[in-house]
C-alpha cells in the first residue's frame, strides 16, 4: 500500500488489513465529499466503514493523515491511468486521441472533485498542486508528440496547457441539467477534435510565446 508510506499512515501487513484500509479510505472519500474536510469526523468515517474507532486510528492516526493518504492514492491512480493512455496513444488517430482525452477527464470527475477539495483544505497544498500540474502537463505533451511526431517540445507543452484548460471545462459543466450538460460536453469534445486537427497544419501565428511563457494549467 504505497500510498500510505509517505503520509504517516500505518501500512497493514496482512490481506485483511489491506481490505480494512481500503474500506476506510473509501468511507473517508465519501464523508469528505458529503460533509467537507472541516466538518468530517473520524467517528463518522469509522462508522461508515464498519471499523472500530481504535482500529481506524491505528491505521490513520489523524484526519490529516487520512486526507493525505487519499491525495497520494489519487495521484498514484491518476498517473497509472495516464501512463496507460500514453501507451495506447501510439496506435491512436488524432480523432481517437481527442475522444480518449475527453473520456479520460470525464472518468476522473468524481475523484478529482474530492482531491481538489482536500488540496484546498490541507495546508502546504501548493507543492502538491505543482506536482499534479507538472505531471499532467509533461505526460500530455509526451502523448501529443507520440501522435503528432512533427511537434517540437515547446509546441507540445503549450498545446498540453491549452488542452488541460479546455478539459477542465468538463468539471464546470458537470453541474448543469442533463440535457445542457450533454450538449456542452459534446461541444468540448468537438473543440478538442478541432484543436488537435489544427496541429497537423503549419503553425502560422506571427508571434510565438517562449516555452517558459506558457500559462499554467
Cβ proximity of 199 and 148 under 8 Å? yes
**In whole angstroms, what separates CA 30 from the centre of its chain?**
17
pLDDT (0 to 100) of residue 216: 53
pLDDT (0 to 100) of residue 131: 80
Architecture of domain 67-199: Orthogonal Bundle (1.10)
pLDDT (0 to 100) of residue 148: 92
pLDDT (0 to 100) of residue 9: 67
Distance CA 61, CA 43 (A): 12
pLDDT (0 to 100) of residue 200: 79
DSSP E strands, the chain: none
pLDDT single digits (tens) 64-97: 999 999 988 888 888 888 889 989 998 999 999 9
Cβ proximity of 26 and 111 under 8 Å? no
Cβ proximity of 104 and 81 under 8 Å? yes
pLDDT single digits (tens) 17-42: 889 999 999 999 999 989 989 999 99
Residue spans of the chain under pLDDT 50: 1-4, 204-207
Distance CA 207, CA 210 (A): 10
Q: Cβ of 13: how many Cβ atoms within 10 Å?
A: 8
Domain boundaries, the chain: 17-61, 67-199
Whole-angstrom distance between the N-terminal and C-terminal Cα of the chain? 30
One fold for 17-61 and 67-199: no
17-61, CATH topology level = Arc Repressor Mutant, subunit A (1.10.10)
Cell of 7: 503520509
CA distance to 5, 15, 85, 149, per residue, from 105 (Å): 27, 32, 11, 24
Amino acid at each position: 500500500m504505497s500510498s500510505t508510506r509517505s503520509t504517516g499512515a500505518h501500512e497493514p501487513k496482512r490481506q485483511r488489513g489491506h481490505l480494512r484500509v481500503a474500506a476506510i479510505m473509501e468511507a473517508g472519500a465519501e464523508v469528505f465529499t458529503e460533509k467537507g474536510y472541516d466538518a468530517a469526523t473520524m467517528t463518522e468515517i469509522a462508522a461508515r466503514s464498519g471499523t472500530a474507532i481504535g482500529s481506524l486510528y491505528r491505521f490513520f492516526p489523524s484526519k490529516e493523515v487520512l486526507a493525505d493518504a487519499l491525495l497520494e492514492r489519487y495521484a498514484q491512480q491518476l498517473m497509472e491511468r495516464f501512463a496507460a493512455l500514453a501507451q495506447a496513444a501510439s496506435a491512436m488517430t488524432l480523432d481517437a486521441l481527442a475522444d480518449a482525452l475527453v473520456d479520460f477527464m470525464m472518468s476522473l470527475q468524481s475523484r478529482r472533485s474530492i482531491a481538489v477539495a482536500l488540496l484546498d483544505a490541507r495546508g502546504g497544498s501548493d507543492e502538491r498542486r505543482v506536482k499534479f500540474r507538472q505531471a499532467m502537463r509533461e505526460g500530455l505533451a509526451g502523448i501529443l508528440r507520440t501522435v503528432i511526431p512533427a511537434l517540437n517540445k515547446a509546441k507540445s507543452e503549450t498545446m498540453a496547457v491549452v488542452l488541460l484548460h479546455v478539459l477542465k471545462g468538463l468539471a464546470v459543466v458537470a453541474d448543469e441539467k442533463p440535457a445542457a450538460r450533454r450538449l456542452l460536453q459534446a461541444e468540448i469534445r468537438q473543440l478538442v477534435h478541432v484543436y488537435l486537427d489544427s496541429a497537423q497544419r503549419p503553425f502560422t501565428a506571427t508571434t510565438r510565446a517562449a516555452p517558459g511563457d506558457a500559462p499554467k494549467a
